[in-house]
Structure 1
Amino acid sequence: MSEKDYTVPALQKGLRILEMFDSNCRALSQVEMAQRLGVSASSIYRIVQTLTSMGYLSKIGTNTYALGTQVVSRGFSYLASREIVEVAAPFITRLRDSTSLSSHVGVCDGAEVLYVFRALALQRVSVNVPVGTRFPLHTTAMGRALLLGTTSAELQTQLQGQRLDGYPKPAPQTMPELIALCEKERAQGWTRHYSDHSTALAVPIRNFTGQVIAAINISGPDPIMNAEGVTETLLSELKQTASDIMRQVGGI
């Protein structure tokens, strides 16, 4: 079977439609899209409607379309995560080296935290979350650190329709419980979460406007993380690392 037999024509057409838009071509009618593809307008109707319903196209007039917000938001999210990884990587690695504990970088993607970088712990017993892993925001220290820049009203809007229960405690099980915890963590400027005999501490990374654009954490086994005086020491190093990263991205 040849390689072309594995292609999906409808997906191919959808992607080619998105590629038609650039700085010189900001709007197209369905007929114009079809002409560029060399097909009939009726044959791409369902493709255009699907792209529109998913936010990748936006209908701006009678049968006229422009790129939708999903293209922009996904693109900027990707670029932002790439930039923060490039900036944060040496500082996160230094933090790992000085503490011998796992350290990660995460960014917000909807109602989830996406892990975009990790520095593996040097010790044999460690907590290492693979890059690309996603968790609901409210279930991890780094996820809630990403929420430190939101008000209670914004938090409810962001997580509207998301089920909070069903995750192991101490993750908040209800919205009032989550709001109360986030208010406490917002006041102290850092977050902590216990899970599977491990503890994680996290702080946000802010840009020059004060907006939270990422979060970093330190995580390790409970006996190490919760030893007397260790939390204060680790928080000091974590906050210093965040400050170093924020200086590089023009943060405050």
Structure 2
Amino acid sequence: MAEEQSNKSLVPGLERGLQLLLAFSEQRRELTFAELHRLVDMPKATAWRVVQTLTQMGFLERNPRTSTFSLGMNVLRLGFEFIASLDVVQVGQPVIEQLRDVSGCSSHLAIRDGRDLIYVARVSAAGSRINQVSVGTRLPVHRTSLGRMLLTDIRRDEFELLYPHPRLPGEHGGDSLDRDTLWNMVQQDKGRGYVIGESFYRHGISSIVYPIFDRSARVAAVISIMIPTEEIPQTDRDRLQREVALAARKISGFLGYLVKAS
């Protein structure tokens, strides 16, 4: 009885359309109408009308050369809309865990809040000797390599609103940093696309930092690994850099960022 009532609640046209879309898979990216009809449980005339409707709405695309159908851009758009709604921590946590495993280094995600960076996710390497920051820890953006990378997508006028004074405070009231010097460092980081901060903020600890982009190509966060050494050995540098870059691209893709073909 309950099953009968459930079946009465179904929208037949929607159900048939979804059946057809679900017929496509990694192994079946293009299908002829005859192949589609064999894969779904519906009359041939009904299947044809559903295919025509989905094609008209952009959920299917027809290749006139091969007379095959494939998933259209509107299916991809729905996927990207959902992915872009996910939080960077939701999609990033498993990625930084994987990065920790392949690099052997503690890994972090951080975002910017005004003149502070906030660590929003972290995973520690086994036996790490580094005094780990906690999720929620705030540090001044201008004093860290992660913070410098977070500043790479702001304009000069935005930068000067953020730092209205020509001298920026040093650590614990120590030596101050020149605002123009920071701006020039940030522009160099932007051009390079990453930061290798060898004991930039904490002595004896180096980091490799890459930006994470959102669907509007803005820097949404940064990903980093921490290495307990004053200077990263050249033999490890390229490998570690590749791993962090790959993790950054992966999270950016999850957030809907599409890399433009060069």
* Both structures adopt the same fold (TM-score exceeding 0.5): yes
Cα distance in 1 for residues equivalent to 2:107 and 2:241: 12
Superposition map of 1:1-252 within 5 A: 83-160=87-164, 164-167=168-171, 173-193=177-197, 194=199, 195-222=202-229, 226-252=232-258
Judged with a 3 Å threshold, the aligned counterparts in structure 2 of structure 1 residues 134 and 162 are, in CA distance, closer, same or farther, namely farther
Amino acid at match of 1:200: S
SS in 2 for 1:94: helix
Cα distance in 2 for residues equivalent to 1:181 and 1:141: 10
Cα distance in 1 for residues equivalent to 2:247 and 2:236: 17
Gaps of 5+ in 2: 1-83
TM-score normalised to structure 1 length: 0.62
**Alignment match, 2:40:** none
**Alignment match, 1:31:** none
Amino acid at match of 1:237: E
TM-score normalised to structure 2 length: 0.60
Amino acid at match of 1:114: I
SS in 1 for 2:207: strand
Percent identity for Structure 1 against Structure 2: 28
Cα distance in 2 for residues equivalent to 1:81 and 1:191: 28
Cα distance in 2 for residues equivalent to 1:82 and 1:249: 7
Query: After the TM superposition, which segments of 4 or more aligned residues of structure 1 sit over 4 Å from their partners?
Result: none
**Alignment match, 1:72:** none
Cα distance in 1 for residues equivalent to 2:223 and 2:85: 13
When the two chains are superposed, the root-mean-square deviation of aligned CA atoms in Å is 2.4
Cα distance in 2 for residues equivalent to 1:123 and 1:82: 32
Cα distance in 1 for residues equivalent to 2:218 and 2:150: 10
Q: How many residues align?
A: 170
Q: CA deviation at 1:234?
A: 1.2
Amino acid at match of 2:242: S
Instruction: Tell me if the contact between 1:102 and 1:127 (Cα under 8 Å) persists in the aligned partners.
Output: no
Judged with a 3 Å threshold, the aligned counterparts in structure 2 of structure 1 residues 162 and 123 are, in CA distance, closer, same or farther, namely farther
Instruction: Tell me if the contact between 2:112 and 2:150 (Cα under 8 Å) persists in the aligned partners.
Output: yes
Q: CA deviation at 1:249?
A: 0.9
Deviations 1:151-198 (A, max 9, x none): 333222223359623228xx9711011011111111101113222210
Amino acid at match of 2:111: V
Instruction: Tell me if the contact between 1:97 and 1:122 (Cα under 8 Å) persists in the aligned partners.
Output: no
Cα distance in 2 for residues equivalent to 1:208 and 1:82: 12
Cα distance in 1 for residues equivalent to 2:114 and 2:214: 19
Amino acid at match of 1:233: R
Judged with a 3 Å threshold, the aligned counterparts in structure 2 of structure 1 residues 178 and 102 are, in CA distance, closer, same or farther, namely same
